[in-house]
Structure 1
Amino acid sequence: MIIVTGHVIARPGTEAEVERLAVEHVLRSRAEPGCVSHEVSRDVQQPLRFVFTERWSDMAALQAHFQVEASRAFAQAMAGLCEGRPQMDIYQAEAVRRG
């Protein structure tokens, strides 16, 4: 399992557009092969901070996601609406059995 976490900080006044694009991206990504889950939320302590959490079946699925033209267009649009660089971390993980 591949886990991706990341966030962007919207510039003041761009929150509605960032949210619209983020939700559109999440819904599109969920339909891609190998996408286990894909979510976006807002930080309750920093309302301009949008947090992304993704789970992919394997690295090949994530790499395919990065090659989708709509994913690249989303990243470019976010760069124009947000402060600083988007933050992203990628982890390889396995489930831990409980009990």
Structure 2
Amino acid sequence: MIIVTGHVIARKDTEAAIERLAVEHVLRSRAEPGCMSHEVSRDVQQPLRFVLVERWDNMGALQAHFRVEASRTFAQSMASLCQEPPQIDIYEAAAVTAR
């Protein structure tokens, strides 16, 4: 499984636009092959900070997601609306059972 975490920090004047773009991107991504989950939330201590968490079946599915034109447009639009460059981290993970 591939886990992607990231965040963007909106400017006060771009907060609504970032929320709209993030929700559109999440809904679109959830319909893509290999997407296990895709969410966006707000940091409760920093409301202008939007946090994205994604889970993909494998790296091929994530790479296909990155090649979708709407995903590239999303990334470019988000970067133009943020206080600072968006942050993204990608992890390869395996589920474990807690006992």
Deviating runs (4+, > 6 A) in structure 1?
none
When normalised by structure 2's length, the TM-score is 0.97
| CA distance, structure 1, for counterparts of residue 39 and residue 29 of structure 2 | 10
Structure 2 unaligned blocks of 5 or more: none
Counterpart Cα distance in 2 of 1:36 and 1:71: 17
Unaligned runs of 5+ in 1: none
Shift of 1:84: 1.2
1:91 equivalenced with 2:88 (yes/no) = no
RMSD, aligned α-carbons: 0.7
SS of 1:5's equivalent in the other structure is strand
| CA deviation profile, 1:37-86 (whole Å, cap 9, x unmatched) | 00000111001100000000000000000000000000010011101110
Residue 98 of structure 1 and its aligned partner are, at CA, apart by 2.8
Which residue does 2:73 correspond to in 1? 73
Q: Distance in 2 between the 1:78 and 1:94 partners?
A: 30
Aligned with 1:42: secondary structure? strand
Instruction: State how far apart, in whole Å, the 1-side matches of 2:89 and 2:49 are.
Output: 16
How far residue 30 of structure 1 moved from its aligned partner, in angstroms, is 0.1
Separation in structure 1 between the aligned mates of residue 97 and residue 45 of structure 2, nearest angstrom: 33
Cα distance in 2 for partners of 1:34, 1:16 equals 29
The residue that corresponds to 2:29 in the other structure is 29
Counterpart of 1:84 in 2: which secondary structure?
A: coil
